[in-house]
Structure 1
Amino acid sequence: MNYKYTGISLFTGAGGMDVGFKRAGVNVLWANEIDKDACNTYEANHPETLLKRGDIRELLGELEQFNDVDIVFGGPPCQGFSVAGKMDPNDERSTLIWTFLDVVRIIRPKAFVLENVKALATLEKWKNVREKLFHLANEMGYSCYPFLLNSSHFGVPQKRERVFFIGLLGKNIDPHHTFSRLEQRRKKPKNIRETISILGPAGTTRNPLTCTAKITLAAKPVIRKSPYAGMIFNGLGRPLDLDGVSNTLPASMGGNKTPIVDEALLYNHANDNWVVNYHKGLLENKVIPEFGEAPSRLRRLTIKEAALIQTFPEEYVFHGSKTAIYRQIGNAVPCLLAEAVASAVIDELEGITINNIRNKPEQLAFESLLSI
């Protein structure tokens, strides 16, 4: 691969962002991760990058040698900001976004990309955090703006929304221009069926069965308009719409929070959609919910399938227990989304001229984001 730029990867995890940035032309020289299993996964797939294990706060001194690196990127832990967590402003993990900026201060790259959960970009609760982030970036000479992106707009078969704070050094970037660069990289994703059926049935050599958590019907189901949105099964694992894209894959997969797949429907062994029919019966009061195991045609999403939905290469090797691997996958930034962001940043650095995209619903949403 021909690399045009160099990069430093922080809070690297299993390396989803790194896959995308490398595809875009960034040679990742140095990476850091604290989780042992994620480190083993990263080293297995990125042997050309120097991975330093441990707390980034104890490794800052090593980064002074990289003062000519082009891009610093990464996703500091988000649990303190996420609506799925406690949203505790005193959560120590939330302070790591300032450590990310400490690295930027040491290296002074041409650009930085800080990824995090949607809540950090949109909730009033975190307005002071955003303002501090912008202020510190500006003090260091960076123009910095947030870009809220849905991964399904960039070829990922998953509706995962994440914010990317993009900063450029010594340049007053026009955020509308950067947004247009991102918009030009929009790409329709494959549906779930197209994405995972290439692996073959669960339990075969190419697609090992990795989650055996039972699927049971809820005696008191929460019924919503869509058969894929309610809770008609016990646990938080919801069925996947094979002809659509998935909701956000959680890091808590591995047990009854793992999404559900209709194996017979996936491989056309059945003409009926059991989930849709059961949901319709509940909705029309033609079926009385009863606790018990679901039909055997329903099973949990496998590790290989989850990785493909996150757009990892099929040959990507994961290390750790099954639970640890599901967590690595669920925590990752989808590779195709990272590639789109990296490519847009590189175009900004190179000053490539484009025609701005205007008057789209996404543009209006972007305008609203800037006003928060």
Structure 2
Amino acid sequence: MRVIDLFAGCGGLSMGFQKAGFEVVAAFDNWKEACDIYAANFDHPIFQTDLSNLEDLKILKKWEPDMVIGGPPCQDFSSAGKRDETLGRADLTISYARIISEVKPEWFLMENVERIRKSRVLQEAISLFRAGSYGLSSTVLDASYCGVPQTRKRFILIGHLHSEDGFLDEYLIRDKSDNPMTIFDYMGEKLDLNYYYRHPRSYARRGIFSVHEPSPTIRGVNRPLPKGYKKHEGDRCEPSDNIRPLTTLERSYIQTFPESFKWFGSKTCMEQMIGNAVPVNLGKYIAECVLQYVEAKKRGLPISEAIQQLELFSV
């Protein structure tokens, strides 16, 4: 299945879909530094493009995608942002919906923060998708139950032409793990620490975490333990000079980027890219749900047998 990735950032979603067996043929983003990182890690092209400008979609159509995937910038919905849909970035969600309606791929995936469910912009986008004859499935996935050592809740909306609403609902939840993945589950002894500092949004929240729990959501902010930090009741150990934040690379691993992934540029840009990225394994999980559905429909199989067939194929 041919895929193009819009608002691709540094490529977490693209890499997840590639790992599941999809053919990602092109990507698009408007952040030069992210495009440079993407280009260094993938064989297919990425184009630096303003996706709010819909005057010419020929460059998208020429790739003849079976599926368009993407996560329009979420800061206007995010709990870390100002939560103001009038700031302009929320308009990119509508741009995404209009691109889908014009390019008309068989499939699309839109991911965003959980909070978008309460927005008028999402309802407007859904109206555009429905007008384009897409059946819709949606859910909120916590990445820690989908192969990622991080508590990160994301809204997932998948569309398929001429399908009934809810067509993928069972597939999206069936293979979630019973327990959240911890950092230690994923990285084992690779980290030389048991506790680390993650800067909270306010000091009413804890800042010291254990590797034997999922990481909190990786954000674009990464600061050292402040001098004079007072222990929060939820902190996993006493504050000390030995408690450090995770490094930029360690944070990329928790986003499930491979160790071979090439990072470069300013620390500020890299931290922001990593914080904005879709975890690779979350992308892979979603892609595999789509493949299970396609396999089941093709063979007329119930979901359990379709999954078994895919597992045999992947061995």
Equivalences for residues 1-372 of structure 1 within 5 A: 5-46=1-42, 48-58=43-53, 60-66=57-63, 68-121=64-117, 123=118, 126=119, 128-173=120-165, 175=166, 178-187=168-177, 190-196=181-187, 198-199=189-190, 201=192, 222=204, 230-231=205-206, 238-254=207-223, 276=236, 278=238, 294-350=239-295, 351=297, 353-355=301-303
* Structure 1 SS opposite 2:274: helix
Alignment CA distance shift 1:34-1:136 (3 Å):
same
Residue 185 of structure 1 and its aligned partner are, at CA, apart by 2.4
Where does the alignment leave 5 or more consecutive residues of structure 1 unmatched? 203-213, 223-229, 232-237, 261-274, 279-293, 357-372
Instruction: Give percent identity, aligned residues only.
Output: 30
Offset from partner CA, 1:270-328 (integer Å, 9 cap, x none): xxxxx5453xxxxxxxxxxxxxxx52321110112111111111111112211211111
The alignment of Structure 1 onto Structure 2 pairs a total of residues equal to 287
Residue 339 of structure 1 and its aligned partner are, at CA, apart by 0.8
1:144 and 1:165 in contact (8 A); partners too:
yes
1:63 and 1:106 in contact (8 A); partners too:
no
* Structure 1 SS opposite 2:86: coil
1:252 and 1:327 in contact (8 A); partners too:
yes
Alignment CA distance shift 1:221-1:148 (3 Å):
closer
Alignment CA distance shift 1:108-1:240 (3 Å):
same
- Looking at CA atoms only, which structure, 1 or 2, has the larger radius of gyration? 1
TM-score by length of 2: 0.82
* Structure 1 SS opposite 2:264: coil
Residue 35 of structure 1 and its aligned partner are, at CA, apart by 1.3
In structure 1, what residue type is equivalent to 2:240? P
Offset from partner CA, 1:169-189 (integer Å, 9 cap, x none): 11224x2x5222122322355
2:149 and 2:183 in contact (8 A); partners too:
yes
Where does the alignment leave 5 or more consecutive residues of structure 2 unmatched? 230-234, 305-315
TM-score by length of 1: 0.70
* Structure 1 SS opposite 2:137: strand
* Structure 1 SS opposite 2:90: helix
